[in-house]
């Protein structure tokens, strides 16, 4: 666009200086000046259109940048919460493991061995509470014969569920 302006200014200066005397050259120079003026107008329109598109694109970039920052902040927050929760779980696991070691130390070795074997076989639960005549491990109610056997067993006898094989833990709510 600057080249077109410079050329038009130079041609206009030649025209104004009177250096061109031939009518034909004068007419050609005037036509060229008019053509350059039209070309300059067209170029200015293109520049305006490009500037408008650039402004629109910059607004969109600013909007998307804001959205990216918002999403990144949410992701950072979620990561921080996840890490905090993982630390809490790790701390709780350590506490429960220590408690288990203390309790396991007071249980006879053969019973602990049986419990660990059942826990492995039964998906992590080796003993279940007997609650209102129902084994909470398999959720099945004991039949009357099984219930009578549990009632007849001494308090320190290890009683197992006939359905799932887990050790039954008797409590006052067992319904015996």
pLDDT reported for residue 168: 94
Residue 92 forms part of a structural domain = no
Residues 72, 13 share a domain: yes
30 within 8 A of 22, measured Cβ to Cβ: no
Domain that holds residue 147: 108-174
pLDDT single digits (tens) 25-84 = 778 878 888 888 888 888 889 999 999 999 999 999 999 999 999 999 999 999 999 999
Residue 161 forms part of a structural domain = yes
pLDDT at 18 over 80: no
| Ordered strands of the 134-135 beta sheet | 134-135, 127-131, 167-170, 159-160
Residue 126: pLDDT band with limits 50, 70, 90: very high
Residue 20: pLDDT band with limits 50, 70, 90: low
Residues 9, 56 share a domain: yes
Q: Identify the residue with better confidence: 18 or 70.
A: 70
Burial of 165 (0-12, 13-18, 19+ CB in 10 A): middle
118 within 8 A of 135, measured Cβ to Cβ: no
Q: Is 19 helix (H, G, I), strand (E, B) or coil?
A: coil
pLDDT reported for residue 174: 80
Residue 94 forms part of a structural domain = no
Residue 15 forms part of a structural domain = yes
Burial of 166 (0-12, 13-18, 19+ CB in 10 A): buried
pLDDT reported for residue 140: 93
Of 61, 79, 97, the last residue of a domain is 79
Residues 68, 13 share a domain: yes
| pTM, full prediction | 0.49
pLDDT reported for residue 21: 66
Residues 7, 62 share a domain: yes
**Residue 50 and residue 77: Cα distance in Å, rounded?**
40
pLDDT single digits (tens) 127-165 = 999 999 899 999 999 989 998 999 899 988 999 999 899
Residues 74, 114 share a domain: no
Residues 64, 15 share a domain: yes
How many domains is the chain partitioned into structurally? 2
Residue 98 forms part of a structural domain = no
Residues 52, 12 share a domain: yes
Residues 74, 17 share a domain: yes
129 within 8 A of 164, measured Cβ to Cβ: no
Taking each helix axis from N to C end, the angle separating 2-17 and 23-105, rounded to the nearest 10 degrees, works out to: 160
150 within 8 A of 169, measured Cβ to Cβ: no
Residues 71, 8 share a domain: yes
Residue 39 forms part of a structural domain = yes
pLDDT at 86 over 90: yes
**Residue 105 and residue 164: Cα distance in Å, rounded?**
26
Q: Identify the residue with better confidence: 147 or 90.
A: 90
Residues 6, 73 share a domain: yes
């Amino acid at each position: 666009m600057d080249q077109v302006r410079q050329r038009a200014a130079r041609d206009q200066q030649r025209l104004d200086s009177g250096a061109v005397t031939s009518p034909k050259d004068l007419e050609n120079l005037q036509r060229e000046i008019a053509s350059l003026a039209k070309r300059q107008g067209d170029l200015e329109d293109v520049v305006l259109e490009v500037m408008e598109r650039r402004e629109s694109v910059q607004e969109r970039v600013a909007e998307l940048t804001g959205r990216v920052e918002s999403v990144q902040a949410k992701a950072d927050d979620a990561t921080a919460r996840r890490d905090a929760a993982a630390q809490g779980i790790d701390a709780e696991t350590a506490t429960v493991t220590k408690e288990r070691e203390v309790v396991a130390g007071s249980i006879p070795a053969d019973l602990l061995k049986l419990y660990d074997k059942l826990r492995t076989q039964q998906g992590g639960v080796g003993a279940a509470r007997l609650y209102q005549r129902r084994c909470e491990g398999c959720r099945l109610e004991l039949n009357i014969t099984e219930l009578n056997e549990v009632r007849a067993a001494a308090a320190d006898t290890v009683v197992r569920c006939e359905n799932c094989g887990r050790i039954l833990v008797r409590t006052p709510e067992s319904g015996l």
